[in-house]
Amino acid sequence: MTTVLEQGNISIHTENIFPIIKKWLYSDHEIFIRELVSNGVDAISKLSMLSRSGEYKEVVEPEIAIAVDQEAKTLSISDNGIGMTADEIKKYINQVAFSSAEEFITKYKDNDDQQIIGHFGLGFYSSFMVADRVDIDTLSWQEGAQPIHWSCDGSTSFELSEGDRPERGTTITLYLNDDELEYLEEQRIRQLIKTYCDFMPVPIKFGEEAINKQEALWKKSPSELKDEDYLDFYRYLYPYEEEPLLWVHLNTDYPFVVNGILFFPKLKPDVEMNKGQIKLFCNQVFVSDNCEEIIPKFLTPLRGVIDSSDIPLNVSRSFLQADRTVRRIADYVAKKVGDRLKELYRDDLSEYIRTWQDLGTFVKFGSLNDDKFKKQVKDYVIFRSTADLAEGDQPKVEVQAEGDDAWSDVGNTTATDKNGAYYTTIQEYLERNKTKHENRVYYATDEVSQATYVSLLKNQGLEVLFMDSFIDTHFVSFLEQEYSDVKFSRVDADLDDILIDEDQSNEIIDPETSKTRSEQIKEVFEKALNRPQITIRTEPLKSTDNSAPPAVVLVPEELRRMQEMSAFLQQQSVQFPESHTLLVNTAHPLIQNLTKLQQGSIVQPDGGQSPSAQLASLICEQVYDLALMAQKGFDADGMKAFTERSTQLLTQLTER
pLDDT of residue 66: 97
CATH 3.90.1260.10 fits 217-348, yes or no: no
Q: Higher model confidence: residue 48 or residue 399?
A: 48
Does 369 carry a binding-site annotation?
no
* CB neighbourhood size of 402 (10 A): 7
Confidence of residue 322 (pLDDT cuts 50, 70, 90): low
Greater model confidence, 518 or 15: 518
Q: How confident is the model at residue 390 (pLDDT cuts 50, 70, 90)?
A: very low
Instruction: Return the CATH architecture of domain 382-491.
Output: 3-Layer(aba) Sandwich (3.40)
Instruction: Return the domain boundaries, the chain.
Output: 4-210, 217-348, 382-491, 504-656
Residue 274 scores a pLDDT above 70: no
Kindly report, residue by residue over 230-269, the tens digit of the pLDDT: 999 999 999 988 899 999 999 998 888 999 999 998 876 5
Confidence of residue 633 (pLDDT cuts 50, 70, 90): low
Burial class (CB in 10 A: 0-12, 13-18, 19+), 143: exposed
Across 316-330, average pLDDT:
71
More confident site: 280 or 26: 280
Is the preceding peptide bond at 255 cis, omega within 30 degrees of 0? yes
Comparing 11-25, 63-77, 559-573, which segment has the lowest mean pLDDT? 11-25
Is 35 known to sit in a ligand binding site? yes
Transcribe 44-76 into DSSP letters: HHHHHHHHHHTS--SPP---EEEEEETTTTEEE
What does the pLDDT average to over 172-189?
95
**Which pLDDT band, with edges at 50, 70 and 90, does 210 fall under?**
very high
pLDDT digits (tens, 9 = 90+) for 572-630: 565 677 788 999 998 888 888 887 777 655 444 555 567 777 888 888 988 898 888 87
The C-alpha atoms of residue 586 and residue 536 are separated, in whole angstroms, by 12
pLDDT of residue 398: 45
**Minimum mean pLDDT range among 288-292, 306-310, 356-360, 603-607:** 603-607
Indicate the range of 222-236, 246-260, 285-299, 382-396 predicted with least confidence.
382-396
β-pair type (398-400, 383-385): unpaired
pLDDT of residue 644: 77
Q: Which of 89-103, 340-354, 636-650 comes out lowest in average pLDDT?
A: 89-103
The b/e string for 313-342 (b: 16+ C-beta within 10 A; e otherwise) is: bbeeeeebeebebbeebbebbbebbbebbb
Residue 317, annotated ligand binder?
yes
Kindly report, residue by residue over 523-555, the tens digit of the pLDDT: 889 988 998 999 999 988 887 666 788 899 988
Q: Is 644 marked as a binding-site residue?
A: no
What pLDDT, on a 0 to 100 scale, did the predictor assign at position 448? 83
Q: What angle do CA 443, 448, 450 make, to 5 degrees?
A: 45
Mean pLDDT of the chain: 80
What is the pLDDT averaged over residues 121-147?
Answer: 87
The winner for highest mean pLDDT among 81-85, 125-129, 518-522 is 81-85
**Mean pLDDT computed over 364-390:** 88
Burial of 304 (0-12, 13-18, 19+ CB in 10 A): buried
Task: Tell if the pTM clears 0.95, that is, is over it.
Answer: no
| DSSP-derived secondary structure letter, 296 | -
Q: Which residue has the higher pLDDT, 324 or 167?
A: 167
Distance, in Å, from the CA atom of 382 to the CA atom of 422, rounded to the nearest integer, reads 10
- Using an 8 Å Cβ cutoff, are 395 and 347 in contact? no
Q: Which of 415-419, 434-438, 464-468 has the highest mean pLDDT?
A: 464-468
- Among 69-78, 106-115, 305-314, whose mean pLDDT is lowest? 106-115
Non-local (6+) Cβ contacts of 248 within 8 A are 261, 262, 336, 337, 340
**Which long-range contacts does 564-568 make (Cβ < 8 Å, 24+ apart)?**
564/473
Angle at Cα 271 formed by Cα 193 and Cα 632, nearest 5°? 160
pLDDT of residue 267: 75
629 marked as binding residue: no
Question: Of how many residues is the chain composed?
Answer: 656
Instruction: Mention the CATH class of domain 4-210.
Output: alpha beta
Taking the CB of residue 579, how many other CB atoms lie within 10 A of it? 13
- The phi-psi region of residue 544 (left if phi > 0; otherwise alpha if psi is between -120 and 50; otherwise beta) is alpha
Give the rounded percent of residues in the chain with a pLDDT score beyond 70.
Answer: 78
Could you name the CATH architecture of 504-656? Up-down Bundle (1.20)
Query: Percentage of the chain with pLDDT > 90?
Result: 36
pLDDT at 180: 92
What pLDDT score does 563 carry? Answer: 67
- pLDDT over 70 (residue 270): no
What is the full DSSP assignment across 356-397?
A: HHHHHHHHHHHHHH-HHHHHHHGGG--EEE-----GGGPPPP
**Window from 18-22, 45-49, 442-446 with minimum mean pLDDT:** 18-22
Determine the 3-state secondary structure of 28 from DSSP. Answer: coil
Give the torsion through C-alpha atoms of 233, 234, 240, 245, to 10 deg.
Answer: -150
**Residue 122 vs residue 48, higher pLDDT:** 48
The C-alpha angle 380, 383, 386, rounded to 5 degrees, equals 140
The pLDDT value given to residue 410: 38
Lowest pLDDT segment from 366-370, 579-583, 639-643: 639-643
Gyration radius from the chain CA atoms? 37
- The residue with greater pLDDT, 640 or 143, is 143
**Over residues 160-188, mean pLDDT:** 95
